[in-house]
Structure 1
Amino acid sequence: MRIGKTVAVALGATILAATGIVSSAGIAAAGSNGQQVSVSTRYSDRIEVCGNNQAGTRICSDFINTPNYWTPVGGWWWQGTVEVWGKQYDGPNGTPVYRYATCYVPKSQSGDWTSCDLAGDL
């Protein structure tokens, strides 16, 4: 009985350890397979980022508010050229103004964030 309990405890610990390693692999490898971006804006009230993720699938973030000069767009791992769409609410006659710019995001680098300095465009 004691051997069976010991084996069960060891097996449970092994499964928990393996699960932790597998579930954290994407985050740990992110600096070498895509980056999160931080975007600078001057005119846009909201931005959306579109491009290829770490799996090569084209995706878009939601439109997010840009209350500060730099806005982090975390939770997506981009690589290659990304498109950034800006929306300014107080355009002529109260109509929104849409702006567009691109930014290159390296597939790998030492950190997990790339700065897209687009304030001149967005």
Structure 2
Amino acid sequence: MNLRKTTAAMGGVLATATVLTALAATPASAGTNGQQLKFHDRIGNTYSINVIGTNQSGDLADHCFATPNTDNYLSGWWWKGTVEIYGSADGSCGSNGGNDTFLIHVSVPESQSGSDWTTFSD
């Protein structure tokens, strides 16, 4: 191999290594396939919520979350599209019947910059 071919081959390897290093060092952008939810209980009478909607995999999902605080981060679940949220005055997510305090529909973007959280309130 002559010097020109060797230098060109080494340049290609170095460029590939640089790109791979840059990709590995770049953090994933926030919320690129759904968002987590944050519930702000402005009235103070909601102690659990049930979220029903599409998850990050495109499957229908539902989950009951305890909401004991004014600001509740509903972490570990990723949603996108329109989700139904039932608020409940107890910790049952309405499974006891008759305890719903509200029903709202929240539009959750599939992607957004700056935060993984979509905030909603009662």
Larger helix share, 1 or 2: 1
Q: Distance in 2 between matches of 1:72 and 1:60?
A: 16
- CA deviation digits over 1:3-58, x for unaligned, max 9? xxxxxxxxxxxxxxxxxx9xxxxxx4661110001012222111111110112111
- Pick the aligned partner of 2:117 from 95, 104, 113: 113
TM-score using structure 2 length? 0.62
Counterpart AA for 2:70: Y
Q: How does 1:87-102 map to 2 (within 5 A)?
A: 87-89=88-90, 96-98=98-100, 99-102=102-105
Query: In structure 2, the residue corresponding to 1:108 is in which secondary structure?
Result: coil
Q: Distance in 2 between matches of 1:101 and 1:36?
A: 16
What stretches of structure 2 of length at least 5 have no aligned partner?
1-23, 91-96
Larger Rg: 2
Aligned residue in 2 for 1:83: 84
Query: In structure 2, the residue corresponding to 1:32 is in which secondary structure?
Result: coil
Question: Given the superposition, is the C-alpha separation of residues 45 and 74 from structure 1 closer, same or farther in structure 2, using an over 3 Å criterion?
Answer: same
Counterpart AA for 2:103: Y
CA displacement at 1:97 relative to structure 2? 2.1
Q: Distance in 1 between matches of 2:80 and 2:29?
A: 13
Q: What percent of counterpart residues are identical?
A: 38
The answer to whether the Cα contact below 8 Å between 1:35 and 1:106 also exists between their aligned partners in 2 is: yes
CA displacement at 1:96 relative to structure 2? 4.7
- Runs (4 or more) in structure 1 with deviation over 6 Å come to none
Query: In structure 1, the residue corresponding to 2:106 is in which secondary structure?
Result: strand
- Pick the aligned partner of 2:48 from 40, 46, 65: 46
Give the number of equivalent residue pairs.
87
Question: Given the superposition, is the C-alpha separation of residues 49 and 30 from structure 1 closer, same or farther in structure 2, using an over 3 Å criterion?
Answer: farther
RMSD over aligned Cα, in angstroms? 2.2
Counterpart AA for 2:78: W
Q: Distance in 1 between matches of 2:116 and 2:55?
A: 13
Q: Distance in 2 between matches of 1:57 and 1:30?
A: 21
- CA deviation digits over 1:67-95, x for unaligned, max 9? 11121111111001111111114xxxxx8
Q: How does 1:21-40 map to 2 (within 5 A)?
A: 28=28, 31-40=31-40
